Structure 1
Amino acid sequence: MYWLTMIKRLVLFCCLCLPALAVSAQEQEVKFAFDNYHRYYREARLCTDSVKLEAMKKLRVYFHEHPYRLSKVNMSVPPARCLELLTPEGTFSDMDALEAEFERSNAYRKGFHTTADDRVGIFIGNALDRLCCIADAYRRGTLTADESLSDKVLKAVVHYGMLEAGRSNAVSRFHASCFAIPTAAVNIYFAWLDKMELAERGGATPLLEAACDMLKVLGLQAYTQPLRHDETDKNVVSIERFRNHVWWVGGNALAYRSLLPVAAMYSSVPMVDVLAEVCRRGISVTSQLTLHDSFWTEGFTADGAGWGHGKQCLIWGYPIDGTFNALNMLGMLKGTPWAERLSRENAQAILNFLRGGNWYYYKGFTLPCLDRGSYVYTAAEKEIPYAKMLNKVLTDWMDAFTETEQAELRQLWKEVKEKRIRMAGYAPGMYSGTRWFFNNDDLIKKTPDCHIMVNMASVRCDGLESAPNFADAYNFYPTDGMTLFQRSGNEYRSIMGGWDVTASPGVTAREGMERLEPVVNWRGYCSKHNYAAAATDGSGDAVAGYIFEKMNASEKEGVNDRGSSAGCNEVLYGVKAYKSYFIQGDYMVALGAGVTNRQSGQPGHIRTTIDQTALLNDVCLLEKGKKTALSAGVHTWKISGKNTPWLVQEGQFAYRVLPEYSRKAFVACETRPANWVLHNKTNAGKKNLPDSVKILRLWIDHGQAPVDDTYGYTVYTGKGTPSARLPFRVLRNDSLVQAVQSADKKLLQAVFYPGNHGLQAGGVSLTASEPCTVMIKTVAGKSVFTVTDACMNAALKKITLTYNGETIEVPMPQGEFCGRTVSYELP
């Protein structure tokens, strides 16, 4: 009987669709879609839990009264106009020519490079959006049933649904097929709920029944598309469907798919059972060492940040979206048999992220290079992106937190609204001071006066994705040691339309912006080496280092969303360097060693950019207390031992090259043309974009073919004039050890690279049993050792230090906290 029914409906569909649609070429895909529909609809009917079934009825009414993600549906064409454009055959007359073109080119069987290139999916999605507009007008009472559910409208549902159901599953169908089209389908269904329930009871016309069936076929794509081509395709209503795949975790799992409305559309208790568990288990953390054991392979990370699209520090999108929608769905299930309180694990994961995420936001601005919209022009201050999630917690889930935590959340909300998150009174390293994000290779310093971020790289992390058709086109360098210094929070975002991206701040790279070609790369770029670490006790002091040698993160094993970057942009590759950072109070020291051009045949000098920031105020050279103003243009930065001058931008920061490690340095005070649309196409819709930007750029030149070159510079981040005598001394700078000691000898910081034999310099003797970063601080006559394993060795239980003849064994964190800094005080 089932097969007979399906065949009859397929015949009806074929009669309703244009003759050019060859069912024989697409019947396998159509059969697949209808097999899934009937299977899960039949399984839903097997449930006998009367309590859950009664709750399901209420959910269906809820989605009739509260359309789901309707803001994502294009409702720009008025319902009357949509009806006017519909032909008696159920096609939109203004879309017929494009549909005919698709048929001639067999586009329904082809894949597309990116979601923005999916012309067929966008085309079908637009048609469904118009039908949603017509259906929603019926729900709101502005169209009658005869108008909204006329034959031509129902035929259109079947027609465009058949185009979608018959598309090839041999290629991945993403945004339109799994997000947009199911969202339109469920909203059409619930707008027509009374008529859909009539069809399900068997009391409707064959055409209405066919439209009802087709909406369920399209809705189910929220669970089926894109196919994973693994065991989960055999049962999409399962926990494993929402695990261990970039398209099915975090935001891609719960935020953009209309999952709960589809479950209600099917009246499927099994679907809601699965979703409730996925929501609860998804509010958790993952980490480098527990990646494959944690529930999700991305989302909140144990260090307080988050991952999206692999191990990218995309904390403002996927982790927030996934968790917010988990909370939202669980909230919808309150008062039903699926309702549960948040667990202690859920609450701790949320609180850890709220604390950690604050570090990536400063005075109303998110840091650039944390999403694929870094080059979107931003002038106005905005609330931190997790504000909506925090508000959801405050409104619906405060009972999951202790009284102390509730007070913290309320204070955080107040400061979020003020766009100034200070959280005074909390421990150093929680909201301010310095913090090492060990899952993301990030060292950050945050105070009321300044913000510093060092975005390092290792093979453990991915880079930052590029998608030139609808997002950033040149995200090639953000995780190459990009080092950002800010006072206002907008020093970089206001000028990035005029950036030379090969001169990204803090980066050692080959010059050649004109040689860069925008590409689609969903995993960005990282370093080949498993080495990156920072040691910090949460105060204003920290040390960090990493080994840099660029690779395309899409070339890692197991990547299922590579993009089109393979073999492109030769200018990116072939530079190696050992890079370290020493924060001592108001001074940051940056050292480089082993700087080598491994592809010296390529044109362009290798340079280390100290900064490329907004030119806001007067710039001068400060030497022996005398200021010399710099005019516009490029200037040679005189390097002359102790007399090497400071470069000062009034009210901002002061910079000084360390002459013993740097040979040539330059300063440019420039007004550059700003091509915002080149960097990100979405800027095309923005008004009042600056045509030009003023930029201060400073760099050290290593020449065209450096081998084991070095560099050194310091940045003064305090207010006023930097000290005439540097309050630190560099003890060593090579590819085995880099070390800096404060002038008063109360602070020693060192980076130990693989193969080192310890540090013997300036009366200091220090060895480490493993590659690591070490900070030794003398406080009240006692030595405090702060140590971080740079290789995240899961088997490493301790690191043994020998300091001036004394042996200290520092235990290393295990499991999800592997790679975190440990402080140890000598008894």
Structure 2
Amino acid sequence: MKKELLCIMLITCTGFLLHAQEAERKYAFDNYQRYYQDGQRVHDPEKEKALESLRHSLAEHPYRYHSLKTSYSAKECLEQLTDNGIFTPLQTQEDEFRKDNGFQKPYSTVQGEIGLFLTDAFNCIWKIADAYRKKELPLEKALSDKVLKAILHYGNIELGRPNDGPRFHASCFAIPTAAVNIYYAYLAQMEGAEIGQGRALLREVCDMLKALGLQAWTQPLRHDETDENVVSISRFRNHVWWVGGNALAYRSLLPVAAMYRSIPMIDLLAEVCQRGISMTSQNTYSEAFWTEGFTADGAGWGHGKQCLIWGYPIDGTSNALSILNLLKGTPWSKALNRDNAEAILNFLRGGSWYYYKGYRLPCLDRGSYVYNPMEQSIPYAKMLDNIVTNWIDSFTPEEQKELQQLQVEVKKNRINMNNYVLGVYNGTRWFFNNDDLIKKTSDYHITVNMASVRCDGLESAVNMADEYNFYPTDGLTLFQRTGDEYFRIMGGWDVTASPGVTAREGMNKLTPVTNWRGYCSKYNYAVGTTDGGENAVTGYIFEKMNASDKKDVNDRGNSKGLNTLLYDFKAYKANFILGDYFVALGAGVTNAKPAMEGGIRTTIDQTAHIGAVTVIEKGKEKPLQEGRQSLITFEGQPVWVMQEGKFAYRVLPEFTRKAFVLTETCPTNWIKRNRGNAKKGDLPQTVDILRLWVDHGQAPVNDTYGYVVYTGKGRPADTLPFQVLRNDTLVQAVRSVDGKLVGVVFYPGNKGLEVDNLSLSASSPCVVLIQKEKGKYKLSVTDACMNSALKEITLVFNGRTVIVSMEQGMLSGKPSVIEIP
């Protein structure tokens, strides 16, 4: 009886799974028939003529050709095919999937593995088809029955997979790309099949390739109204899978539209491309065309509100321009409008700040841990070339000169643009949509990558990207002269000692995770202000949270509940750039879970140890001793630590109890940091590191810190050219000794600043930079909370009321600069 019951259950489950597969296949083929027929209903002689020309162009020039990745030759791929259309190297893996009903398992890790398995199969088929296109294989071999059966075999597996979870990467990028390129490689035969010619097996394959290709438009399902009509503007808005690079860069949308001979698809695509070249921001997020891409501050977002400036934003716009290039000379041809041109120019200017002397800044993409010691062009170089070559007429004469000069400097890997006013390409700049303050000169580069709830962190992805992106947006502070100071050591540095970051120790306790949103702060408070010149002020309240815990996140990864050492401490952190002096202040440093193992520390720097390191004590230089050394003498006096050719550091002992410096040689594990390093043969086995830090102990409560980094040349002055006015959780403030420069961070609940002969208050939380120049005061003021309802901030400066209007709309959060007598 039990045996019979078990058999019945197995038959029932098998029947259910087969029914589920057929339902998914039916869904795919119903979509194919629907959108194919929709395309045939619309007629326009000029567009139809252009479509035929596009189809033949795609037959000669494979789309996303770099995606064809297989170690086998076309001949080897053919030899590996059985008469039933199964690749023998993949047979065992397929049997394993079938044994456990893996092809119908709900969305899980196994579905990701199946996606890779199917991608391998379709790349092998594409390899065979491409060899025919290049006349390396005869038609009778390249389009033999076993090749056609392989397309149907693996295609049926793909189309039968469940849609209960996001079928990403393979289903929407890789497999549709292979399918369209297979179709166009056999274009003459496919066109014959479309009018009923050729054998039945070929006609069946033609339908299969169209169904597979359409997944570029349909997958992953959004489970909203746009699934009912994928050929709609709303399909390409307001969802991380369907905006920016995920919308236009990695999907083979145009080849599918041409495969379907669909005028409506190309009509839509041309509109999406043009409208996607635009800007977004926190306060225009809901009405901006795309919720990621170029941001109003000149940087960019990707995969949510991450400052992934070198990935998705470039990929989205670059491919929009490339598609528009292909449509030039057709009825779909479009000129760039003024909004397009301004968005592009704003990004080219802003993006240049995230690149220095041949190196992109680290920790701004998910490939920062890939070892590459060589200089490279700025990542937008190819896009810039396309703009100058194909779209230069969309810009004003002055902008054209700027673009051409920028192109010349990009080719030299040295972007200076010294003939432009400070704040455009050089000086200081507050990237208000991304919580980043940057100072860039010909001599050095400083980055402060802060955190707030307004932004996401930086994504990690186990086995496919950086695996240790836990701290990049926690206040990461980088000092560089050559641009490679950090890249060369990241394979061996202590991630919990990231420069500028206040964190709990415990590198050995970190577990790599896949987290598509990274980490941020719980607070809506991160702010910077500057007039673009050599001075600036920043402040932020830091208490770490997982950005995947925010509402409406549809791609959380597997980080929830892991790495508890990341959380449960707090700090108020401010930074002041006064010419060549960088002053960092911390207050309210508190460990909410002192019983948890690991002390709290603020890392001053963790950088490459390249030059000789000396200590300056009472005006005398001496070599740094081996082992850990205090930055404060027994008498309580601070010492300077200088690295030859780099920077000098000292603490402010009135705010810092314990601080140390150490040079060390650390073993590396580049592959553990990013699997992409496994293919590299020149990985350093050890790295030499200079590390300085403030030790807050195991149980700090309202602790403070203060330190200075001298970024100029030579030795710093014997006497500091500034004084700290306050350092607490309400106000942090610094003033130059000559009184001409004041920087103040006002936190919520503050009652203003009263000290010596200076009185200053603000009506809302903000930062203020006051610079006395030529008998006038220049005031730079920024709202710390990016409050869209805040129209102005009222300052009372030494008894004088000053009203400062705040930037509105897309520019909300940008510094407001005024002059008063």
TM-score category by the smaller chain?
over 0.9
Which amino acid counterpart does residue 442 of structure 1 have in structure 2? Answer: D
SS at match of 1:280: helix
Name the CA distance, whole Å, in 1 between partners of 2:462 and 2:42: 47
Q: Does 2:99 match 1:104?
A: yes
Name the CA distance, whole Å, in 2 between partners of 1:205 and 1:23: 28
Name the CA distance, whole Å, in 2 between partners of 1:740 and 1:460: 27
Q: Does 2:62 match 1:67?
A: yes
Name the CA distance, whole Å, in 1 between partners of 2:411 and 2:576: 34
* More displaced 10-residue stretch of structure 1: 137-146 or 47-56: 137-146
Name the CA distance, whole Å, in 2 between partners of 1:640 and 1:722: 22
Shift of 1:227: 0.6
Q: 1:21 to 1:394 in 2, by over 3 A?
A: farther
Shift of 1:468: 2.0
Q: Which residue is equivalent to 2:284?
A: 290
Name the CA distance, whole Å, in 2 between partners of 1:595 and 1:406: 50
Residue pair 1:391, 1:413 contacting (<8 A) in 2 also: yes
Name the CA distance, whole Å, in 2 between partners of 1:602 and 1:378: 37
SS at match of 1:562: coil
Which amino acid counterpart does residue 516 of structure 2 have in structure 1? Answer: W
Shift of 1:395: 1.1
Q: Which residue is equivalent to 1:359?
A: 353
Question: Which among 667, 677, 694 is matched to residue 683 of structure 1?
Answer: 677
Which amino acid counterpart does residue 26 of structure 1 have in structure 2? Answer: Q
Question: Which among 9, 24, 32 is matched to residue 29 of structure 1?
Answer: 24
Q: Which residue is equivalent to 1:811?
A: 805
Name the CA distance, whole Å, in 2 between partners of 1:517 and 1:671: 23
TM-score of the two chains, using structure 1 as the length reference: 0.96
Q: Does 2:327 match 1:333?
A: yes
Question: Which among 789, 795, 801 is matched to residue 783 of structure 2?
Answer: 789
Shift of 1:293: 0.5
Where do 4+ consecutive residues of structure 1 move more than 6 Å? 19-22
In the TM superposition, 1:208-607 aligns within 5 A as 208-607=202-601
SS at match of 1:289: helix
Question: Which among 71, 76, 89 is matched to residue 71 of structure 2?
Answer: 76
Residue pair 2:17, 2:104 contacting (<8 A) in 1 also: no
Residue pair 1:21, 1:103 contacting (<8 A) in 2 also: no
Shift of 1:292: 1.1
Which amino acid counterpart does residue 334 of structure 1 have in structure 2? Answer: K
Q: Which residue is equivalent to 2:7?
A: none
CA offsets 1:719-748 (integer angstroms, 9 cap, x no match): 011000100000000000000000110001
Which amino acid counterpart does residue 553 of structure 2 have in structure 1? Answer: V
Q: Which residue is equivalent to 2:139?
A: 145
Residue pair 2:70, 2:120 contacting (<8 A) in 1 also: no
Aligned CA RMSD, in angstroms, stands at 1.3
SS at match of 2:628: strand
Name the CA distance, whole Å, in 2 between partners of 1:128 and 1:821: 52
Shift of 1:118: 1.4
* More displaced 10-residue stretch of structure 1: 620-629 or 277-286: 620-629
CA offsets 1:320-374 (integer angstroms, 9 cap, x no match): 0010100000000001000011011101100000000010100011111101111
Question: Which among 695, 705, 724 is matched to residue 730 of structure 1?
Answer: 724
Name the CA distance, whole Å, in 2 between partners of 1:684 and 1:664: 40
Shift of 1:77: 1.6
Q: Does 2:738 match 1:747?
A: no
Name the CA distance, whole Å, in 2 between partners of 1:383 and 1:755: 46
Q: How many positions carry a matched residue from both structures?
A: 808
SS at match of 1:27: helix
* More displaced 10-residue stretch of structure 1: 146-155 or 214-223: 146-155
Q: 1:655 to 1:788 in 2, by over 3 A?
A: same
CA offsets 1:148-172 (integer angstroms, 9 cap, x no match): 1111111111111000000001121
SS at match of 2:283: coil
Which amino acid counterpart does residue 136 of structure 1 have in structure 2? Answer: D
Q: 1:533 to 1:278 in 2, by over 3 A?
A: same
Question: Which among 710, 713, 722 is matched to residue 719 of structure 1?
Answer: 713
Shift of 1:573: 0.4
SS at match of 1:388: helix
CA offsets 1:522-547 (integer angstroms, 9 cap, x no match): 00000000001101000010000000
Name the CA distance, whole Å, in 2 between partners of 1:144 and 1:22: 40
Name the CA distance, whole Å, in 2 between partners of 1:301 and 1:689: 36
Q: Which residue is equivalent to 1:4?
A: none
Shift of 1:389: 0.6
Q: Which residue is equivalent to 2:815?
A: 821
Residue pair 1:639, 1:659 contacting (<8 A) in 2 also: no
Q: 1:314 to 1:70 in 2, by over 3 A?
A: same
CA offsets 1:22-57 (integer angstroms, 9 cap, x no match): 643311101100010000000011012111111111
Residue pair 1:111, 1:172 contacting (<8 A) in 2 also: no
Name the CA distance, whole Å, in 2 between partners of 1:757 and 1:113: 53
* More displaced 10-residue stretch of structure 1: 74-83 or 591-600: 74-83
Q: 1:606 to 1:452 in 2, by over 3 A?
A: same
Name the CA distance, whole Å, in 2 between partners of 1:399 and 1:176: 38
Which amino acid counterpart does residue 803 of structure 2 have in structure 1? Answer: E
Q: Does 2:619 match 1:625?
A: yes
Name the CA distance, whole Å, in 2 between partners of 1:113 and 1:746: 61
Shift of 1:113: 5.1
* More displaced 10-residue stretch of structure 1: 74-83 or 699-708: 74-83
Q: Which residue is equivalent to 2:40?
A: 45
Q: Which residue is equivalent to 1:54?
A: 49
Which amino acid counterpart does residue 58 of structure 1 have in structure 2? Answer: S
Shift of 1:203: 1.6
Shift of 1:204: 2.2
Name the CA distance, whole Å, in 1 between partners of 2:175 and 2:539: 47
Name the CA distance, whole Å, in 2 between partners of 1:90 and 1:693: 50
Name the CA distance, whole Å, in 1 between partners of 2:347 and 2:448: 19
Name the CA distance, whole Å, in 1 between partners of 2:364 and 2:391: 28
Name the CA distance, whole Å, in 1 between partners of 2:67 and 2:320: 18
Which amino acid counterpart does residue 146 of structure 2 have in structure 1? Answer: K
Residue pair 2:180, 2:256 contacting (<8 A) in 1 also: yes
Name the CA distance, whole Å, in 2 between partners of 1:311 and 1:705: 33
TM-score of the two chains, using structure 2 as the length reference: 0.97
Counting aligned pairs with the same residue, the percent is 63
Which amino acid counterpart does residue 94 of structure 2 have in structure 1? Answer: E
Residue pair 1:186, 1:219 contacting (<8 A) in 2 also: yes
Residue pair 2:293, 2:313 contacting (<8 A) in 1 also: yes
Name the CA distance, whole Å, in 2 between partners of 1:478 and 1:196: 50
Which amino acid counterpart does residue 520 of structure 2 have in structure 1? Answer: C
Q: Which residue is equivalent to 1:89?
A: 84
Residue pair 1:640, 1:659 contacting (<8 A) in 2 also: no
In the TM superposition, 1:752-763 aligns within 5 A as 752-763=746-757
In the TM superposition, 1:695-706 aligns within 5 A as 695-706=689-700
Shift of 1:114: 6.4
* More displaced 10-residue stretch of structure 1: 131-140 or 801-810: 131-140
Q: Does 2:703 match 1:709?
A: yes
Residue pair 1:435, 1:445 contacting (<8 A) in 2 also: yes
Residue pair 2:457, 2:520 contacting (<8 A) in 1 also: yes
Name the CA distance, whole Å, in 1 between partners of 2:136 and 2:465: 38
CA offsets 1:182-223 (integer angstroms, 9 cap, x no match): 000000000100010101111222111100000000000000
CA offsets 1:529-566 (integer angstroms, 9 cap, x no match): 00011010000100000000000000000000000000
Name the CA distance, whole Å, in 2 between partners of 1:717 and 1:825: 28
Shift of 1:75: 4.5
Residue pair 1:364, 1:382 contacting (<8 A) in 2 also: yes
SS at match of 2:19: helix
Q: Which residue is equivalent to 2:644?
A: 650
Shift of 1:76: 3.1
Q: Which residue is equivalent to 1:669?
A: 663
